[in-house]
Amino acid sequence: MPEITLVEAVTLALARAMAEDKEVVLLGEDIGVDGGVFRATDGLLARFGAERVFDTPLAEAMIAGLSVGLAAQGFRPVAEIQFTGFIYPIIDQILNHASRLRTRTRGRLTCPLVVRSPYGGGIRAIEHHSESPEALFAHIPGLRVVIPSSPRRAYGLLLAAIRDPDPVMFLEPTRLYRSAREEVEDTGEPLPLDRAFVLREGGDITFVGWGAMLKETLLAADRLEADGIGAEVIDAATLKPFDTETLFASVQKTGRCVIVHEAALTGGFGGEIAARLAEGALTSLLAPVARVAGWDTVIPGLRVERHYMPGENRILEAARKTLAFA
């Protein structure tokens, strides 16, 4: 199997989905001729034609509205928003229409659309290019929120998202686009949505993260292992609906949990996970649940960004404090 990057895995999944289903169409700013700002759709215009891969004006609300209309008429649109900092104008269409179409029509219509967007920090971009708004979208009933953390998971989860009958927000960690390679076989096999992945097993503490933050989390787990501490690392992957079963099974074994995300702490999805632990696994906990997150400020750009992003040392500090609680 060839080793490819995460962004190449996205391209591979899009091409597979389009080859298998003529109703899959791609739209977004500069995704056709230029192949997207990160080249995630590179070569797809030439392969599938302008009727299925088309550039749009710089109008995110229009992209979302057009996608809802296409989905309601039997297409499976995959819309790209260039950066999540530009994604907020689509909330009206996603919240008031896409996520409600099934219930509004009593199941007669569904809205099988996917919104893809580069997501998160780590590339030292300017303001509006490094947002982490996953909690905003996770709060919308009827909308799935999926965040891959590796090329293989990007391929399988994107295929599953495109085939899903309901809308999916698919956030792609920009920092991971070209930072690592992994063997990915183009079999067309999806990965299950709504399921978390246990990346590493351990019996002393549970780490929960998603997207690019899993890199630092796994490094912290390596350092704990050197001290004889077994850390279990869970990739949430789908935040909505969240796989509580996998989380509870891990915490029942370890008794301790640290949640890691780069979005701001207040209102972040880590708070939802902590609440679920309090409601459903409180008697298994041996220490308070800890959260390691971004600061409660707009993520700064350029060289200042590194002071915002949660790092390996902050994760380790939270883990050791949790482990020391008696």
Half-sphere exposure of 57 (CA within 13 A, CB side): 5
Residues 247 and 242: their CA atoms lie apart, in Å, by: 9
Residues 88 and 92: their CA atoms lie apart, in Å, by: 8
Are the beta carbons of 188 and 159 closer than 8 angstroms? yes
- Note the maximum CA span of the chain: 63
Nearest to 191 by CA among 232, 233, 146: 146
Which amino acid, 82?
Q
- The active-site residue, picked from 97, 129, 139, 261, is 129
Q: Say whether the peptide bond before residue 165 is cis (omega within 30 degrees of 0).
A: no
Residues 30 and 53: their CA atoms lie apart, in Å, by: 10
- What region, left, alpha or beta, does residue 211 occupy, with left being phi > 0 and alpha being psi -120 to 50 degrees? left
Are the beta carbons of 274 and 282 closer than 8 angstroms? no
* Residue in the block written with tokens 């995704």: 31
Outline where the chain has alpha helix (H).
6-20, 44-48, 60-72, 91-96, 101-104, 134-138, 151-163, 213-226, 244-254, 269-280, 305-308, 312-324
Nearest to 83 by CA among 58, 46, 109: 58
Active site annotation includes 261: no
Residues with catalytic roles: 129
